Chains A and B, each alone.
Chain A
Amino acid sequence: MDCIQPIETQGATYRYEEDGQQAVDHVSLSIPKGSMIAVLGHNGSGKSTLAKLMNALYLPTEGRVLVCGLDTALEENLWDVRRHAGMVFQNPDNQIVATVVREDVAFGLENLGVPQPEMLPRIDEALLAVRMTEYAAAAPHMLSGGQKQRVAVAGVLAMQPDVMILDEATAMLDPSGREEVFSTVRKLNREKSITVVWITHFMEEAALCDRVLVLHHGAIAMDGTPREVFSQVDELKKLGLDVPPMAELAEMLRQGGLSLPAGILTVDDMVKELKACL
């Protein structure tokens, strides 16, 4: 089935308790096919709740969430929603279920009732895509954190989803593990046109996405390209977030009298701009 509109939320709202605060507060947003969107926000801002609304782990208490046009609130859509939108969580040790990598990747397919002859090539293809083929027969506990997360990504990928939602999938990894998981997912996004929702605390990862969404008190506080969002240094700080160091330095240099354009995020950007004025 062709998925034209991977994720659409219409006034989606979620309360954990009936009279409690809204963890997600009337969020309306649509994520175009093939894009990679970063979701930022401090703890408690509603990022994870929003993620869980996107694959029917939670159902909105108000409003609607549509995954590939399917209303997540309708029970008959549940399996299709989960097949279209796969999720990867933060802790690599909490989402590995099997004792062999290949079997772990098979888990989701078994649940979907995919026939075995079809299963094997899908597993191989998924492991290849995350560059874990040589570990197919390995025991997951012998892998590094980054490798475990790539196995988790393969498990979702094997289900051939249209959307992948990664909820702080790199939070527990070291810098090289973070880079290996991020670039793997970015590549899948580009080459297989999988729509990605990338929830993170790392501004430098967000800077590499197509679009950045900032949540605050469950509502959308900022929404734009990385350059648009990260040029608002004061606003980000007010929301309890970091600013990429080079964006912050650019702001400091501007205050010192240097005229630098908006949107400097990386060392590369900064070198280029400084060469123009030094």
Chain B
Amino acid sequence: MISDQLPALVIVIPMLAAPLCVLVRKPIVCWAIALVANFLVVLSAWALFEKVREDGVIRYALGGWAAPTGIEYYVDMMNATMLLLVSFISCVTLVYAYKSVSKTVLTSKHYLFYAAWMLCLTGLLGISITGDAFNVFVFLEISSLSMYMLIAFGTDRRALTASFRYLIMGSIGASFILIGIGFLYAATGALNMVDLAQRIPDAESQRAVLVAFSFLTIGLMIKSAVFPLHGWLANAYQHSPIAVTAFLAGTATKVSLYVLLRFFFSIFGPDYSFGAMLLNVVLLPAAVAGFVLLSLVAIFQSDLRRMLAYSSVAQIGYIIAAFCLASQSGLTAGIVHIINHGIIKTALFMSVGCILYKVGHTHSHSLDNLMQKMPLTVTAFILSGLGLIGVPLTVGFVSKFSLISAAMERGWWMVGALVLLSSLFAIVYIGRVVEIMLFRKSRTETPAPVGRSEAPLMMLVPMYVLIGISIWFGVSGSTTLSVAADAAAALLGGYQ
């Protein structure tokens, strides 16, 4: 019986944890509630993933109302992968969050922090699981609003501006998405995704469909921070509490990318969006410019968090470029990079968080000789940095290799070459920091006595769990590649 209810449990458990946190109010109890809830969600998502892998698509009618009338949850390989990724990253980051949050956030506000975290998780999982276009918007709002709140918890006063800026941009994006969904509803009279996919080709007013398509494209580009519309991201990542940054970097933009995939591939269909509508012409230049320019911009950042934020936009560029190929191999590369980048970027932000915890700032210029002070953290930074660059035997290599070979397959040599060029930039920006941490002599006249002062275990262990997983996925690339290939096939195959 419980296995039939898994799709609902994934949403209900974190949603239940949020009000419980507000009622309990004791920081450590709230954290424990959130963590237990999150752990249960990971288990449910895992069970759901295994079930979908064996038996195929699961459809769950909410409230017992069957699909076109009611809201349904539609789980195929693509959703199941996203659910597992998002819930797992959230769980690991939540373990990590306790120490850093209790240092930076006012104790009296902790319960609100964990409640917002749980709501954000609910929203992100809801977006991933639902099979109803309007429901996507509702969950998008839940996750976004709680995310603005989480960002505003940052110690710096600039966190408020960053949060407000994201609020403005995010609201514009969300309303564009809503307008798009509204036009789709006007054109087809359906909100259910499966229904929409069937009705769009013979909709009476193709112009309304076109308008919907344009609004959705722009809205989703803002939400997933594709190159020219990424303005909100850098500040939000830099000023929010570091645990939140790690959580956001691994999940929020990834879920928006998933919605983009869902709309362009499952609902509109690749023939419409990439064939008739020439989405390539819009998205590919943006993606390529994104990964080349922002990797270049990342080189000149002196703040580690800001550097990694720009690198995130660049990585989103890779993913979008892979989607633009609109082929099985291209989508596989994109989805694999969603998984891989989610894991390594979270690990990277975690290691930066450890530095922030012990050193108190993240200006890369004054992190000299950090290796002697915090060897474990710096090792973690280097290991995940190598993954970001794409050195063989790391996850970055798996995704970049599959991206380049998919581009070659299509004959897009320039894209392949530019991916390599931006990887060179990645070597520079990661290498520059590593050089400072490992080799640079202290510039101060009398170097401070160097003692080991490592971040607490509760921060180190989650970080190393992620790094372990990234190494495993890097060495045996077929684990993630086969999952991504199944997900890509589910997207390209359309709804059954």
A and B found bound together:
no
